[in-house]
Structure formats: C-alpha cells, structure tokens
C-alpha cells in the first residue's frame, strides 16, 4: 500500500508544478548540525504557488503550554491544509487511522497540563477539526529493516536500538523516572516482543531484559543506569556511542522516505503540515530547499509567516 500511495502521489496529474525529490541533499546529523539547531521548537514555511508546506520542528513535549503545542495550534489557525503528516506511525496504516483519533480524543491534558501522547495529540485533533487527511510519516518497519541491514547493521542491533529509543519517551510520559527505574524491565520486555514481531525476528533474539541490558552494555561500554542520556539514541554520524551508529542508519532510511512523501503530497497539489522532531527538519532543510527553494519564513511566530508567505 505504501508504494502504491507514493506512486499515485508522484504520478498524480493534479499538480500545478512538478517538484523533484532531492534525498541526496539530506544533511547527515552530526554534532555540528546538532549545535546549530535552535534550543526550542520552530517552523519552516515554504510557498509553492498556491500551496504551502509548513514543517513544525518539534521539541518532543508533553506539556499543553509548550512552544511545540502552540506552534501546532498556530499552524492550523494560520493556514489551511489538505494533508497532515505526523511522526510515529506508518503511512501504510492508511488515511485517518480511527484508533489514533480515538486515542487523541481520550488523551486531553490533565489538571497540570500534562499530555501523555505528546505533540501527536494536538496534531491529530487539529487535522480532524480542519478536515485534513492525516497520514503517518513513517515507512513500514520491514522497509527500514532492509535498508539498515544493507548498511551493515545487524538485526540484533536494530532490535536492541528500537527498544532503547523508547526510554526518552517513557521518561517524558512519566512511566519511568530514569533508566535505573525498576519499572523499566516490563516495559523493555513488552517492547522487545512487539518489535520482534514487527521486524519478523526470531523469539530467541534478545529474549529478555537481561540479554537486552547486556547488549546495551557491550555496545555502549557502560551499564544501563540513571546517567542514560537522550544523546545515546540520537542519529549522530560522529557520535561517541555505539548506538549512534545504528540510529544514523535508521535516520537515513526514515528521512529519505519522509522527504519523498512530502514532495509527493505537494506534487498532488496539497498544502501540507508536517510535525516531526526538530532534528528531522535540520536534516531535511538542504533537500527541501533544493526541491522547493528557500522557505519564505523560519521561526516560531507563524502569524508573521502568513504575511511573509503571501
């Protein structure tokens, strides 16, 4: 289904101008690029004739009063979108996944403004209110696996990393305090089972928490403890952790897919909102600029973008 969707978008005759994807221009995520990234969320707005591409570079947030949430709301208030592309679920789940709308509707902020589902919640609710088509911005896991394995990453490393990258999310969702929290073990074992199934890997590959923790210690040369840092799951091409090498290969596959998906929707004549983590926009900028041209606005005040991008 994913390939059919992309093909139909690329070949759609309703586009007013044909844009050419430029995935070769994607910038590798390095410590230098990381240090250039703004400290908080921001957005880039592109003008393509009557169409607009608004890319929200989210700082993954679980606060209703965060800048990320405000930017998402401002994007919907300022522009009209036919399509919304969100991080965290596959395009192959189809347009407007009912389970995602149900989850977002039931995940409003609690009394202190905490939103467990993070920026996915205002993204999904805004798409429904605006009657925009909501699509996942992720390739199927088996497509990512094929590219990552071809890049020299083992299936064991991919499985281990897929579970490890949940730790910052679990901390943000208040499911654990840090990586030394005793509540981590059942979360890891459930994630191992789920990802083994998604990646079609055998049951004896990292079968439990102990084997997974040993994998981590061998790769990153330190035991998993409270000092775990989000940087360890970052796709840093020049990172100091073994897990950075795996993350970089996964990032290349994900961002290549996302770039082609964005250009496909624009070529289908659709104004498009993209909500992904900030590092993805930093990686995507040279490729988007090559395919579309320079953005008409970059910043965190989207009301200004409305006049700047007329």
Contacts of 247 (CB under 8 A, 6+ apart): 161, 165, 233, 234, 235, 236, 239
- Whole-Å CA distances, 134 to 49, 91, 283, 294: 22, 9, 23, 26
Residue 234: helix, strand or coil by DSSP? Answer: coil
b/e per residue 107-133 (b: at least 16 CB within 10 A): bebeeeeebbbbbbbbbbbbbeebebb
Tell me phi and psi for residue 240, to 5 degrees: -90, -5
- Confidence at residue 310, expressed as pLDDT on a 0 to 100 scale: 87
The number of beta carbons lying within 10 Å of the beta carbon of residue 19 is 20
Dig out the tokens for 303 from the structure: 């009301």
Q: Could you say which residues of the chain have pLDDT below 70? A: 1-17
- Confidence at residue 14, expressed as pLDDT on a 0 to 100 scale: 44
The H-assigned helical ranges of 116-154 are: 120-130, 141-150
- Confidence at residue 214, expressed as pLDDT on a 0 to 100 scale: 98
Strand partners, 54: 45, 273
The H-assigned helical ranges of 165-241 are: 166-172, 184-199, 209-220
């Amino acid at each position: 289904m994913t390939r059919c969707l992309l093909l139909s978008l690329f070949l759609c005759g309703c586009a007013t101008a044909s844009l050419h994807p430029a995935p070769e221009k994607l910038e590798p995520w390095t410590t230098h690029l990381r240090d250039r990234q703004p400290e908080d969320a921001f957005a880039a707005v592109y003008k393509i004739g009557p169409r607009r591409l608004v890319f929200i570079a989210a700082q993954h947030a679980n606060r209703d009063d965060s800048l990320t949430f405000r930017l998402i709301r401002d994007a919907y208030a300022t522009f009209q979108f036919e399509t919304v592309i969100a991080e965290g679920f596959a395009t192959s789940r189809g347009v407007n996944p009912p389970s995602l709308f149900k989850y977002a509707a039931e995940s409003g902020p609690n009394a202190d403004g905490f939103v467990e589902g993070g920026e996915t919640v205002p993204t999904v609710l805004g798409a429904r209110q605006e009657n925009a088509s909501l699509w996942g911005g992720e390739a199927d896991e088996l497509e990512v696996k094929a590219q990552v394995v071809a890049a020299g990453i083992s299936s064991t490393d991919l499985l281990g990393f897929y579970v490890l990258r949940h730790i910052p999310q679990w901390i943000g969702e208040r499911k654990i305090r840090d990586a030394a929290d005793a509540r981590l073990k059942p979360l890891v074992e459930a994630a191992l089972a789920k990802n083994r199934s998604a990646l079609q890997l055998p049951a004896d590959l990292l079968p439990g928490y102990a084997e997974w923790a040993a994998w981590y210690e061998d790769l990153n040369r330190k035991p998993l403890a409270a000092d775990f840092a989000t940087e360890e799951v970052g796709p840093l091409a020049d990172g100091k952790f073994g897990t950075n090498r795996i993350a970089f290969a996964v990032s290349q596959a994900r961002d290549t897919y996302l770039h082609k998906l964005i250009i496909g929707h624009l070529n289908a004549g659709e104004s498009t909102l993209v909500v992904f983590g900030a590092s993805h926009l930093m990686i995507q900028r040279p490729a988007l600029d090559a395919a579309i041209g320079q953005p008409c606005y970059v910043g965190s005040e989207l009301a200004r973008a409305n006049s700047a991008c007329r």
